[in-house]
Amino acid sequence: MPSLSKTFNLPIIDISAFTAPDDDGDDEIIKNRPELKIQTAKKIHEACRDVGFFYLTGHNVPREISDQVLNLGNEFFQLDDKEKMKLSIANEDMARGYQRLGENVTRYQKDWHEALDFYKPISRDHYLAKNNLPLRGQNQWPTYPTEFQQVFERYTEHMKELGSKVMSAIALGLGLEENYFEQFLDDSFWVMRVIGYPPLKSAESTNRVGISCGEHTDYGCLTFLNQDSTKGALQVQTKEGEWINAEHIPGTFVVNIGDMLNVWTNNVYKSTLHRVVHKENNYRVSVPFFYEPNFEAKIEPLQPCLDIDPIKHHEPVIYGEHLLRKVSTNFEVTS
């Protein structure tokens, strides 16, 4: 039976206790930082436990740059197909690069979006390169718009910094030392997708199309979604199985947790199902940044979570192996 979709307010959490620089002049934060950190960590803990999704403010990523990445993404997708296909994932490693409409699949249905994917660059002696595996290649940067690479690389630095701050808050919220996760994240195998969504109605005569992006959980650690102002596109499933809209709120990121945090917390935190159903007439752009563990990181249930429930609900996972399994089922490439 189809579920209803309605607008619902996901928690909005201010992370400035973790992000505000010591010299930014906000005396209130500087004076009360330890206490504010604990309050913030508690809010994040509750959001991760209860919904797995929240909005983030106070993140210190300049608005100008998060708007710019959306605009540059939009400009790129307006190029003609021939130009875009010059960056096809088939040129490289079947993961880094451009995927045209319908090339992404979720549960055997084509997703109605096109995308450009970037991953952490790797060296020639990386395990992936030596074993000729997917992800072994180089990122394929568009030459037009000309400032694309430079802006997205700056954005990546901001997002890695933010990812590590949110993970400090998560560590505190779980009763761990603030820097606990650093050992697993200091060489984060991040992923950044630039996604373009034509209206869903443009897919009507195409075979096996599902929705704009089929329902899924994210497979890593934390996702920071930068979405344009299109209404009603991103939907999140509540514990009750109802689909609610995660509308654009200017100046925020939508943050959700991925499967690795579900393993780390032995199911205390949920990686929540979400999907995109873009019914408006405009061309929608979103840029999710996936802040992920190191490729070699071994993820297994954490002691504070086992103190609550000693039954281990997950076997240890090596993040890179998990990633390769996921990447190999994502695309259906036709020439």
Ligand X SMILES: O=C(O)CCC(=O)C(=O)O
Name the minimum Å distance from CB 90 to ligand X. Answer: 20
Kind of pairing, strands 191-197 and 284-291? antiparallel
Collect all residues with Cβ–Cβ distance below 8 Å to 58 and sequence separation of at least 6. Answer: 14, 15, 16, 17, 19, 20
Q: Which does 286 bind (CB under 5 to 8 A by kind): Fe ion, ligand X, none?
A: ligand X
Helix (H) / strand (E) containing 284 = strand 284-291
Under a CB-based contact definition with an 8 Å cutoff, are residues 126 and 136 in contact?
Answer: yes
Taking the complex as a whole, the smallest distance from the CB of residue 262 to Fe ion amounts, in Å, to 14
Q: Using alpha carbons only, how large is the chain's radius of gyration in Å? A: 20
Residue 111, interface with Fe ion (CB under 5 A)? no
The per-residue DSSP string of 2-22 comes to PPPEEE----EEE-HHHHS-T
> Of 197 and 269, which CB lies nearer to ligand X in the complex structure?
197
Asked if residue 228 binds Fe ion (CB under 5 A), the reply is no
Least CB distance to ligand X at residue 281 (A): 17
CB of 52 to ligand X, least distance (A): 12
Tell me whether residue 136 or residue 274 sits nearer to ligand X (CB atom). 274
| Residue 227 interacting partner from ligand X, Fe ion, none (CB closer than 5 to 8 Å by kind) | ligand X
Nearest distance in Å: CB 330, ligand X: 10
> CA-to-CA distance for 41 and 166, rounded, in angstroms?
9
| Token pair for 289 | 């940044």
Binding stretches for ligand X (CB under 6 A)? 193, 195, 213, 218, 225, 227, 234, 274, 276, 286, 288
218 lines the binding site for Fe ion (CB under 5 A): yes
Q: Are 302 and 266 spatial neighbours (Cβ–Cβ below 8 Å)?
A: yes
115 vs 174, beta carbon nearer ligand X: 115
Whether residue 302 contacts residue 264, with contact meaning beta carbons closer than 8 Å, is answered with yes
Q: Which does 225 bind (CB under 5 to 8 A by kind): ligand X, Fe ion, none?
A: ligand X
Q: By C-beta, is 234 or 244 nearer to ligand X?
A: 234
For the bound state, the minimum distance from the C-beta of residue 280 to ligand X, rounded and expressed in Å, comes to: 13
Nearer to ligand X, 16 or 286 (CB): 286
Contact 94, 333 (CB under 8 A): yes
Q: What does the alpha-carbon distance between residue 208 and residue 166 come to, in Å, rounded to a whole number?
A: 38
E strands, 150-217, are: 191-197, 213-216
Nearer to Fe ion, 103 or 218 (CB): 218
Q: Which of ligand X, Fe ion, none interacts with 135 (beta carbon under 5 to 8 A by kind)?
A: none
The item of Fe ion, ligand X, none sharing an interface with residue 234, based on CB under 5 to 8 Å by kind, is: ligand X
Q: Residue 288 CB, nearest distance to Fe ion (Å)?
A: 6
117 binds Fe ion (CB under 5 A): no
Residue 84's φ and ψ, nearest 5 degrees, are -65, -40
Give residues in contact with Fe ion (CB under 5 A). 218
